[in-house]
Amino acid sequence: MINKKQVEELVSIFYQPTFKVFYINADHEYNMVKPAGVFVSLGLTSTLATIDSVKRSLEGLGKGYITSFAVLATKRTNANFLNRIDKCMELEDVEQFRLENVPKEVMEREEAVKCLEELRAELDKHTDLTKIAGVATRVRKLETLIEKIDKELGWDRYGIIPDPTTNSYMYFHKFVNYMKKDDIEYRIGIYVTNAN
């Protein structure tokens, strides 16, 4: 049987944000079975490239792990969480889950550019250096986000949302690694088994 604690310790070397590791303890009908490996669920918004990097790192350790991209399906029955692998796939076949309810505060490109223009106009109105510095920081952050989404990330997968904690802006991920449908929770991540 695979050592869940060892997998957790190894993943923590390659991935510092919070993550979860689940035993695969159910068959396709959600009948409890002896654990048949573990599933590593990285962050809700972790990119597929990040998941792939952790997956390859686990394989390359020489510990006899076999890894694959997978979708975990979890169902709660009575007091138990039953986890089964819904499907395994190659990286190019992985599709993250599109969020159904995107908050109204999320800006698409047109709205973000308009907001940027308004912030630039606001710079001309102020004479107080503290206010100018604050607005200039927000302008630069918004410019950087727009440019990165334009050139690398794509507006189909990302938007921009105000960040109330910093009074600035941040990415909004339209595709994530978790979805709940009816009484089943689905996660995209890494299925780990032993070679022997």
| Residues 92 and 9 both lie in one domain | yes
Q: For the chain, how many helices (H) and strands (E)?
A: 4, 10
Q: What does the block give as tokens for 165?
A: 């904690």
pTM, whole model, 2 decimals? 0.85
How many domains does one find in the chain? Answer: 2
In a domain, 104, yes or no: no
| Residues 9 and 88 both lie in one domain | yes
- Residue 149: give the domain boundaries: 109-173
In a domain, 103, yes or no: no
**DSSP label at 113?**
H
Residue 61 pLDDT: 78
| Residues 31 and 76 both lie in one domain | yes
If one counts every other C-beta atom within 10 angstroms of the C-beta of residue 98, the result is 12
The DSSP bridge partners found for residue 41 are: 20
Q: Which of 12, 78, 104, 68 is nearest to 188 (CA)?
A: 68
Q: What string of pLDDT tens digits covers the 196 residues of the chain?
A: 788 999 999 999 989 899 999 999 988 888 888 888 999 999 999 999 999 999 999 988 777 889 999 999 999 988 889 999 999 999 999 999 999 889 999 999 999 999 999 999 988 887 788 889 989 999 999 999 999 999 999 999 999 999 988 889 999 999 999 999 999 999 999 999 987 6
Buried b (16+ CB within 10 A) or exposed e, 144-179: ebbeebeeeeebeebbbbbeeeeebbebbbbbbbbb
In a domain, 146, yes or no: yes
| Residues 158 and 189 both lie in one domain | no
Answer yes or no: are the C-beta atoms of 98 and 174 closer than 8 Å.
Answer: yes
| Residues 67 and 45 both lie in one domain | yes
In a domain, 129, yes or no: yes
| Residues 38 and 128 both lie in one domain | no
Strand boundaries in the chain, DSSP class E: 20-23, 38-41, 65-77, 80-89, 97-98, 158-163, 168-173, 175-176, 178-181, 184-194
How crowded is the C-beta side of 145, counted as CA atoms within 13 Å?
28
Identity of the residue numbered 84 = R
**DSSP label at 25?**
-
